Amino acid sequence: MSKKIVLALICFFKLSLVGAEDDSYWDTHLVRPYVHNSELQRRWAWALLASHMRELKGNEHILDVGCGDGKITADLSKFVPSGSVIGIDPSLAMLAWAKNSIVL
């Protein structure tokens, strides 16, 4: 029987706190500030993930839900060279940013 590792990193951000009630706000106003401040989130993620990285065999398939700027997604891909990592995000602008700025 194979062992499955499920890790969930969830950051809740209520849109109404910033005056945003619809998804288009993310696309037009929050991409650059998010990218500018994402390094702290990246450090938090790795503080949680570091202890689990040694359990990976390198052939896992990882889904990064809410991948944002794609930095963590790209980092994860280095640990699964025979697997895959897919990042999804509700913001088309964030996905475009990730696609255009991440070099593997």
Question: If you write DSSP's letter for every residue of 4-21 in order, what string do you get?
Answer: -----------GGGGT--
By the 8 A CB rule, do 13 and 37 touch? no
pLDDT, tens digit, 9 for 90 and up, residues 44-73: 888 888 888 888 899 999 998 888 889 999
Cα separation values, 82 from 46, 49, 62, 77, Å: 21, 19, 12, 9
Give the pLDDT confidence score for residue 74 in this predicted structure. Answer: 93
**pTM to 2 decimal places:** 0.69
By the 8 A CB rule, do 53 and 75 touch? no
Q: E-assigned strands of the chain?
A: 61-65, 84-88
- For the cut 50, the answer to whether the pLDDT of residue 102 exceeds it is yes
Confidence of residue 10 (pLDDT cuts 50, 70, 90): very low
Coil/strand/helix, residue 65: strand
CATH topology of domain 22-101: Rossmann fold (3.40.50)
Task: Give the start-to-end residue ranges of the domains of the chain.
Answer: 22-101
For the segment 65-88, the average pLDDT, to the nearest whole number, is 92
